Amino acid sequence: MSGRPGFYERRVLPRLIGCACSQPVLTRLRAEVVPQARGAMFELGCGGGLNQPFYRPEQISRFVGIDPNLALLDAARAAAARRFADSAFHQAGGEAIPAADAAFDSIVCTFTLCSVTDHPRTIAEMRRVLKPDGVLLFVEHGRAPDSGVQRWQRIVEPVWKRLAGNCHLTRPIAVALADQGFTVEPMGREYIARTPRPLGWMEWGRAVRTA
């Protein structure tokens, strides 16, 4: 989308995303992955602050987050002020992360890579700002392993992207991370319950920079 966001993007979409991404089953996955973050950490797509209850502030020396949606970013900033002594937020996309090379010990990315404009470039940027011994913690949805489900994902995706803030259903997850120089350590892969399969394939785990 170009120009100033319309009413849907400013008012409706943030509420839709907040509701969809706070389902109990997704909250369970966040609770499994997010508490592993340590040190200087960065969150891609931090808007809404949905991950913040799961961080352990005593393990975090600095919290930096970005999100392109200003309304969601404001909510995250307000939540962080109550939890972290040192935090910074930027309205930005993942294709150009405003940070130096090897700046972070941990990166957290949950339900965000589906909606970035440039998928490979965003992953490459996360690798750039991650320390050589750092860890990327991810929970993402994307391309299913079953050909029949993939077919429906391709059919649904054009309409879904328009309704859900550029959310793609057909992007690979672990494969895409590996293609950009990460070694993936899976923690889980499954279709989430009570969700149509084209929308419900999840992968979560850890990834480190490939030597």
* Tens of pLDDT, residues 126-167: 999 999 999 999 999 999 999 999 999 999 999 999 888 889
In-domain check, residue 59: yes
What is the structure's pLDDT at 148? 98
pLDDT > 80? residue 22: no
pLDDT > 60? residue 104: yes
What pTM, to 2 d.p., does this model score?
A: 0.89
The three-state secondary structure class of 68 is coil
In-domain check, residue 44: yes
What is the structure's pLDDT at 5? 57
Q: What are phi and psi of 206, to 5 degrees?
A: -120, 150
In-domain check, residue 85: yes
pLDDT 10s digits, 45-95:
998 889 999 999 999 999 999 998 888 888 889 889 888 989 999 999 999
State how many domains the chain has.
1
Q: 2-6, 120-124, 126-130, 189-193 — which is least confidently predicted?
A: 2-6
What is the structure's pLDDT at 82? 86
For residues 96-125, give the mean pLDDT: 97
In-domain check, residue 1: no
Q: In terms of Cα–Cα distance, which of 196, 98, 112, 210 is closest to 156?
A: 196
- On the CB side of 43, how many CA atoms lie within 13 Å of its CA? 33
In-domain check, residue 118: yes
Q: By the 8 A CB rule, do 97 and 126 touch?
A: yes
In-domain check, residue 2: no
Give the integer Cα–Cα distance in Å for 5 and 193: 33
Where helices occur in the chain by DSSP H, the ranges are: 7, 13-20, 24-33, 70-81, 119-129, 147-163, 174-179
What is the structure's pLDDT at 1? 36
What is the structure's pLDDT at 7? 57
Give the integer Cα–Cα distance in Å for 82 and 88: 13
C-beta atoms surrounding 133 within 10 Å = 9
The enclosing domain of 57 has a CATH number of: 3.40.50.150
* Alpha-carbon 15 to chain mean position: 17
Range of the domain at 140: 7-209
Tell the residue number behind the tokens 């002594």, with chain if given. 85
Q: In terms of Cα–Cα distance, which of 157, 174, 175 is closest to 166?
A: 157
Tell the residue number behind the tokens 């120009």, with chain if given. 3
Q: By the 8 A CB rule, do 155 and 98 touch?
A: no
In-domain check, residue 97: yes
What is the structure's pLDDT at 168? 96
Q: By the 8 A CB rule, do 209 and 134 touch?
A: yes
Considering 37-41, 159-163, 165-169, 207-211, the range whose residues carry the highest mean pLDDT is 37-41
